[in-house]
Amino acid sequence: MKPQFIEEIRAFNRFYTSIIGLVNDHILDSDYSLPEARILFELYHHPGLTASDLIGMLAMDKGYLSRILRRLEGRKLVSRVGSVADRRMVTLALTAKGKKAFGLLDRASDEQVATAFKNLSEEDGQQLVGKMIEIRRIIAKNNLLP
């Protein structure tokens, strides 16, 4: 890849992470780090995932995921559920408290995006979203996802 492309991609990443507040230790002025919030997101939208599933989806180190899961379990947000079909398999589930925490994070995220982009015209909003869709398409087409 051309050095200019690398420089522009990195500049965009820095620019966008500052808009959505990823430079902070905690996301959305919550008690959760980005990895914790992402795990809550995945477990909410994909019930019954295993730790191995999360490792693959998030390209996360096994030990790091294990520490985060212990922390989330200690906070009573996530529980481990044994499989009826295979006693060796353990799936992860959000507890009622975990679902509530995710709901608050999800609403805060929607509000953050609405606030950050509130001054966009309809035309600029449509153009921005179209380009974001195109970025995702190019990345997926070239198998650049973990």
Domain boundaries, the chain: 27-108, 117-146
Average pLDDT on 91-97 reads 97
According to the model, what pLDDT value does residue 126 have? 97
Between these two residues, 112 and 27, which has the higher pLDDT value? 112
Residues 21 and 19: their CA atoms lie apart, in Å, by 6
Average pLDDT on 68-79 reads 98
Q: pLDDT class for 24, splitting at 50, 70, 90?
A: low
Half-sphere exposure of 35 (CA within 13 A, CB side): 17
Q: pLDDT class for 16, splitting at 50, 70, 90?
A: confident
What predicted TM-score, i.e. pTM, was given to this entire model?
Answer: 0.86
**Which top CATH class is 27-108?**
mainly alpha
According to the model, what pLDDT value does residue 144 have? 85
